[in-house]
A = this chain, B = another copy of it.
């Protein structure tokens, strides 16, 4: 069965919307934040811990799993859910962004992308067909089309060619997609060019994907440009399909995305900053390495319901982080994931009550005030 999106409620004052995403692994509310488990695990965490954060979909990565352990081993295990023992829904990224971000040299051809394995330098060739075939084998709930993710900035001329190529690649991927239990999303590109965002969205929607994502917004542009890119993509996407803003996980960006009509977000941010000692709080990001937490025997956030905040103090987590004990990053990962998921829970409540703008304003005020 493919996923099914039910639009439940459109907020009065913004483009935000509450929805239900029905998958083969449960039905979940949107807007949602999806934790990233690149290599078939959300770094340091068990599936139970991720679920305890009230997470729904988690992400995994075609490029990384293609290299290690290889899609055939995952298929032999019975697919990615069985392999990693996660019975919630999984979305696999296509590898397009990883080719762009990890490979130092790459050769973008009509057929696909030639590049070097970031682990051992071996020559690799990833095509739209291969990406989809790998994802078919991984048996994720949602597969992504293989797209070109150009750097920022490029000329309008280059971006136009790139958008056309991504459209052709999307079609080729769709043509070989065979897993009837897997949904396939198209990706809107077009950089900061309004006309190309519109063109990409309109043409991608013509192919009738199960959902649409907006790509290339988090690769170097300023925030204002990012929000404009969303504004110039969302209006051309159908209301009855989920909309996914790729690679975005900053709390303020999630709020800005939701008010612009986005349903799904993913980002490595909560787990990556955790490993460096950072924690999200309602009053901004804090770094536990800071000496002021040495004797702070309170949780990261008194009101937080996560495992970390209900069991440990800042002083203890600071001790773990400054002593390079991995448990520190693990505990902060749990808190940060829960923080973003709780944010989406609050957002959904305020969409329901048509009070999202007030909530957003208040959140941003607290989050950005000098402490």
Binding site for B on A (CB under 8 A): 39-41, 43-46, 64, 68-69, 73, 76-78, 83-85, 294-295, 297, 311-313, 315-316, 318-320, 322-323, 325-327, 329-330
**A76: which B residues are within 8 A, CB to CB?**
295, 297
Asked whether A46 and B315 contact (CB < 8 A) given A68-B322, A73-B294, the answer is no
Q: A77 to chain B: which residues have CB within 8 Å?
A: 297, 313, 315-316
The answer to whether B85 touches A316 (Cβ under 8 A) is yes
**Minimum CB–CB distance for A352 against chain B, Å:** 35
Q: How distant is the Cα of A18 from the Cα of B319 in the complex, in angstroms?
A: 38
B312, A85: Cβ atoms closer than 8 Å: yes
Chain B residues with Cβ below 8 Å from A83 are 313, 315-316, 319
Task: Check A41 against B315 for contact (C-beta < 8 Å).
Answer: no
Whether A39 pairs with B323 at a CB distance below 8 angstroms is: yes
User: A326 contacts which chain B residues (CB < 8 A)?
Assistant: 43-44, 326, 329-330
Looking at A45, A64, A319, A325, the one whose CB has the most chain B CB atoms below 10 A away is A319
Among B39, B312, B315, point to the contact of A325 (Cβ < 8 A): B39
Q: A46 is contacted by which of B39, B84, B327, B329 (Cβ under 8 Å)?
A: B327
For A78, list chain B residues within 8 Å (CB): 297
User: Which B residues touch A311, using CB under 8 A?
Assistant: 46, 85
B41 touches A325 (CB 8 A): yes
Q: Are B294 and A41 in contact (CB under 8 A)?
A: no
Give 8 closest A-B pairs by Cβ, nearest first: A69-B319, A41-B327, A44-B326, A39-B323, A68-B323, A85-B311, A39-B325, A326-B326
A259 to B179, CA, bound (A): 59
Least Cβ distance of A80 to chain B in Å?
10
Contact A315 B44 (CB under 8 A): no
A20 to B63, CA, bound (A): 54
- With A83-B315, A316-B84 known as contacts, the answer to whether A327 contacts B43 (CB < 8 A) is yes
Output the nearest chain B residue to A331 by Cβ-Cβ distance.
B46
- Check B327–A69 contact: CB distance below 8 A: no
A-B contact pairs, 23 of them (CB 8 A): A39-B320, A39-B323, A40-B319, A40-B320, A43-B326, A43-B327, A44-B326, A44-B327, A46-B311, A68-B322, A69-B294, A69-B318, A69-B319, A69-B322, A69-B323, A73-B319, A76-B295, A77-B315, A77-B316, A83-B319, A85-B311, A326-B326, A326-B330
Among B45, B68, B312, B320, contact of A327 (Cβ-Cβ < 8 Å)? B45
Contact status A73-B39, CB under 8 Å: no
